[in-house]
């Protein structure tokens, strides 16, 4: 069996973190099994679909490293949907319905008032040819519904949720085409999954009832359905659905200095029994991809956890991996000296300014004489050896200071900060002339 998965976003907006997670899991499953990962642009909504969003989807996937093996567009397949709808109509499994949105809403309210579920009553099936002709003569255009088989239970073994069973008689015949001729998600997606040879569909658990309906569509069209895995939805760090998750996407990650490796490492593992770990390539995530490790509880997405993971990943980056993103003049030694103090690669520029630029240090007047002595000692040190330890040893002996009273004034005078990288690594990069000048000014 050839494994082929797909990611099928609608180009009506930017990808958000939930979309990214679905794309990632489909990509990981394909790669785990030596298969293919396809991008399908679900652009049946011509009014809301925009090419700029298509371009953004491609760019976001590329940034994440989720490169598709192929691409399809639903707007290029309308003839396939027309043909399948005609065949379903001929087989008695699709029918036109003429109720307006207001009429349908009234029916639902009446049903609710009677304590009944809001299931469509199939009134359109009772219309005669003459009734339909009269409605269309009055300018009423039909929408189309798929007719469910109420006598056949809907069952499948979900790769995450286990055995699933639905009673079709408790469900409304789904609308598959609007009165204006535009297609809804359900039927085109089923047709495409079958004709594209999609073997597995990994998507959120909010699609479970859609899967139940689509399984009857596959059967009615004589098509083999893919296997389905419905994963738990994301929730925010506060434990409930967060509006922010609906807007958090690649653009926000990039602006915040988040690395794609951090995004993938977190989204691949939350909601599973595997620990979230810093990774610099996708191989460990591919290897551990297993639906048996996915839980049913909501997957908690915590931005603080992402930030911490991002820092850990940056701490592992070799200079060659980031050289093109560093300030001009910043070399390997400087990167090695500061990287363990970075939360984002962009912060390296701040430390380069400390090493190579001008600083503004706030010094306690009580430290002026101490720092003047430090400047005299620094002037005469052997800077080819270990100037930091030589300087602090000499100052400890001459001043009697130790601990914080010894080290903090030096760090402030030399870097303008109270915290930062190991001064033993930083001081040689600052250099004799600049260090003596900073200590002397202080």
Task: Domain 365-441: state its class.
Answer: mainly alpha
Q: Which CATH architecture has domain 79-177?
A: Alpha-Beta Complex (3.90)
What distance in Å separates the CA atoms of residue 154 and residue 135, rounded to the nearest whole number? 34
Residue 244 has pLDDT above 80, yes or no: no
Here the tokens at position 191 are 């047709």
Backbone φ and ψ of 286, nearest 5°: -65, -45
Spatial CB neighbours of 47, under 8 Å, sequence gap ≥ 6: 182
pLDDT at 319: 98
Per-residue pLDDT of 305-335, as tens digits, reads 999 999 999 999 999 999 999 999 999 999 9
pLDDT at 241: 62
Sign of the Cα pseudo-torsion (337, 339, 342, 346, in order): positive
Mean pLDDT (whole number) for 147-154: 96
Q: For the chain, give the mean pLDDT.
A: 95
Residue at token pair 């609906």 = 246
Indicate the CATH number of 4-71+189-233 among 3.20.20.300, 3.40.50.2000, 3.40.50.620, 1.10.1530.10: 3.40.50.620
Residue boundaries of the structural domains of the chain: 4-71+189-233, 79-177, 243-316, 319-356, 365-441
Task: Domain 243-316: state its class.
Answer: mainly alpha
Spatial CB neighbours of 142, under 8 Å, sequence gap ≥ 6: 96, 97, 98, 124, 132, 135, 136, 179
pTM listed for this prediction:
0.92
Spatial CB neighbours of 191, under 8 Å, sequence gap ≥ 6: 77, 80, 81, 84, 221, 223
Per-residue pLDDT of 353-364, as tens digits, reads 999 999 989 999
What distance in Å separates the CA atoms of residue 268 and residue 281, rounded to the nearest whole number? 13
Residue 1 has pLDDT above 80, yes or no: no
Here the tokens at position 326 are 């560093």
Estimate to the nearest angstrom the gap between the alpha carbon of 441 and the chain centroid: 49
Beta bridge partner(s), residue 375: none
Spatial CA neighbour of 176 closest among 80, 290, 63, 97 = 97
Mean pLDDT (whole number) for 230-244: 80
What distance in Å separates the CA atoms of residue 373 and residue 368, rounded to the nearest whole number? 9
Per-residue pLDDT of 2-27, as tens digits, reads 999 999 999 999 999 999 999 999 99
Q: Do the first three CATH levels of 79-177 and 365-441 match, i.e. the same topology?
A: no
Residues in the chain: 442
Q: Is 243 annotated as a binding residue?
A: yes
């Amino acid at each position: 069996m050839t494994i082929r998965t797909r990611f099928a976003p609608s180009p009506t907006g930017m990808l958000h973190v939930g979309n990214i997670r679905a794309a990632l899991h489909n990509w990981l499953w394909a790669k785990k099994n030596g298969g293919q990962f396809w991008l399908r642009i679900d652009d049946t909504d011509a009014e809301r679909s925009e090419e700029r969003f298509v371009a953004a989807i491609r760019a976001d996937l590329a940034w994440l490293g989720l490169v598709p093996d192929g691409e399809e567009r639903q707007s290029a397949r309308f003839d396939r949907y027309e043909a399948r709808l005609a065949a379903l109509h001929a087989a008695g499994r699709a029918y036109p319905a003429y109720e307006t949105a207001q009429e349908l809403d009234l029916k639902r309210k009446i049903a609710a008032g009677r304590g009944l579920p809001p299931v469509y009553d199939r009134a359109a099936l009772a219309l005669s040819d003459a009734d339909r002709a009269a409605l269309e003569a009055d300018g009423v255009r039909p929408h189309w519904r798929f007719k469910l088989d109420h006598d056949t239970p809907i069952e499948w073994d979900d790769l995450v949720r286990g055995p699933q069973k639905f009673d079709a008689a408790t469900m409304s015949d789904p609308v598959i085409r609007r009165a204006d001729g535009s297609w809804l998600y359900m039927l085109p997606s089923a047709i495409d999954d079958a004709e594209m040879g999609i073997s597995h569909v990994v998507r959120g658990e909010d699609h479970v009832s859609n899967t139940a309906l689509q399984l009857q569509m596959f059967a009615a069209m004589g098509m083999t359905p893919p296997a389905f895995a419905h994963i738990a939805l994301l929730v925010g760090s506060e434990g409930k659905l967060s509006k922010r998750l609906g807007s958090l996407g690649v653009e926000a990650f990039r602006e915040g200095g988040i690395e794609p490796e951090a995004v993938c490492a977190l989204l691949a593992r939350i909601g599973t029994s595997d620990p979230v770990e810093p990774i610099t390539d996708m191989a460990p995530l591919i290897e551990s991809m297993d639906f048996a490790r996915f839980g049913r509880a909501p997957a908690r997405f915590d931005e603080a956890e992402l930030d911490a993971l991002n820092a850990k990943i940056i701490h592992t980056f070799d200079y060659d991996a980031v050289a093109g993103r560093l300030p001009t003049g910043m070399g390997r030694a400087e990167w090695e000296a500061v990287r363990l103090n970075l939360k984002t690669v962009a912060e390296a520029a701040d430390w380069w300014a400390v090493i190579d630029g001008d600083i503004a240090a706030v010094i306690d007047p009580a430290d002026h004489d101490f720092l003047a002595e430090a400047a005299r000692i620094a002037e005469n040190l052997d800077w080819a050896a270990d100037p930091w330890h030589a300087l602090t040893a000499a100052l400890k002996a001459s001043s009697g200071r130790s601990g914080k009273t010894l080290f903090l004034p030096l760090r402030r005078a030399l870097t303008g900060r109270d915290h930062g990288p190991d001064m033993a690594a930083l001081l040689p990069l600052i250099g004799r002339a600049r260090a003596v000048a900073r200590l002397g000014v202080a």
